[in-house]
């Protein structure tokens, strides 16, 4: 049992490594000048949403985009209200990772890694960036296979079995578990990937997976909060707004978990893909609903944290 847990930690490390390496590769493919211009092209909330979505899809990390955004706000290059549109888009853009994790590559993970390593040997920046991205993607697929193969063994831990049993019965417990795990791991994508492993082996229901996914969206806000320490008041407002937006979204969807599960079940028979689609729907709906109320919301944050 202890050996299985060690292997679980190994695959989690491989997943985090792959996510980081893939992000570096994709980041290298886009110039810093372009990203700065995109971030500054946020005159309207809708523009901010689109830019946040694009940059997050490129960087494969909403936390990284939030840290960059907080830095821009602290430097006075972005206003607090402009940052809200970006964080709404970042929540949508990060769902790309979950969708990538559902791709069934079978035994092609190793060839993807090998091709990636070969591309890295080239001095050309584009080839190097593509190779880095492929290496990271291959590592993610390896980790996902590991999560799936180890799920049954990890499920035999009594505390894991009890936690998942309670999660299947009481959705709010799933939200709490997702929040804690995401805050510790600093990656909502990793939490969703672990959940997919348990879903694949029928150790949890899709409703439980959705509850954990909702919690993961709250837990990932910790990175932004840490980045705002000792920053300007507006930068702190940005971090607090990120927490409140995700919290409001979770409170909105918590009573609708059964409805959301029915929708995604009708979209695909693949239970892992159902969770990925649920994440997409949750983030898109929350961002679209919040978009018209950005001024009201920003005033709420400024009044609350004077």
- Kindly indicate the confidence band of residue 282, based on its pLDDT and cuts at 50, 70 and 90: very high
Q: Which of 161, 230, 142, 234 is nearest to 201 (CA)?
A: 161
Q: Name the pLDDT band for 30 (thresholds 50, 70, 90).
A: low
CA distances, 110 to each of 116, 126, 222 (Å): 10, 22, 34
Across the range 155-183, mean pLDDT stands at 82
Q: Which is nearest to 17 in space by CA: 131, 132, 99?
A: 132
pLDDT tens digits along 236-267: 898 899 999 999 999 999 999 999 999 999 99
Crossing angle of helices 294-304/80-93, nearest 10°?
Answer: 110
Residue 223 lies in domain:
2-304
Domain count, the chain: 1
In angstroms, how far apart are the furthest CA atoms of the chain? 55
Q: pTM to 2 decimals?
A: 0.82
Task: Give the mean model confidence (pLDDT) for residues 104-112.
Answer: 74
């Amino acid at each position: 049992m202890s050996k299985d847990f060690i292997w679980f930690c190994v695959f989690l490390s491989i997943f985090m490594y792959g996510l980081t390496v893939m992000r570096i590769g994709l980041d290298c493919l886009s110039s810093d000048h372009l990203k700065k211009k995109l971030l500054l092209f946020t005159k309207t909330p809708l523009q901010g949403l689109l830019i946040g979505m694009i940059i997050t899809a490129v960087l494969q990390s909403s936390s990284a985009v939030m840290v960059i955004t907080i830095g821009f706000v602290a430097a006075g290059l972005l206003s607090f209200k402009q940052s809200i549109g970006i964080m709404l888009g970042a929540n949508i853009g990060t769902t790309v990772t979950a969708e990538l994790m559902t791709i069934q590559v079978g035994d092609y993970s190793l060839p993807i890694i090998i091709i990636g390593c070969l591309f890295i040997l080239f001095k050309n920046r584009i080839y190097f960036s593509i190779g880095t991205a492929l290496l990271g993607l291959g590592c993610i697929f390896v980790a996902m296979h590991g999560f799936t193969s180890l799920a049954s063994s990890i499920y035999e831990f009594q505390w894991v079995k009890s936690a998942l049993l309670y999660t299947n019965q009481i959705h709010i417990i799933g939200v709490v578990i997702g929040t804690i795990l995401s805050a510790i791991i600093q990656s909502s994508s990793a939490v969703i990937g672990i959940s997919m492993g348990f879903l694949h082996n029928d150790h949890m229901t899709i409703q439980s997976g959705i509850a954990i996914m909702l919690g993961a969206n709250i837990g990932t806000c910790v990175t932004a909060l840490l980045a705002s320490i000792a920053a300007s008041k507006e930068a702190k407002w940005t971090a607090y707004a990120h927490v409140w937006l995700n919290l409001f979204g979770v409170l909105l969807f918590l009573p609708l978990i059964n409805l959301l599960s029915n929708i995604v079940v009708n979209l695909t028979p693949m239970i892992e893909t159902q969770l990925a689609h649920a994440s997409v729907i949750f983030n898109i709906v929350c961002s679209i609903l919040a978009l018209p109320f950005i001024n009201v919301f920003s005033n709420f944050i400024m009044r609350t944290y004077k």
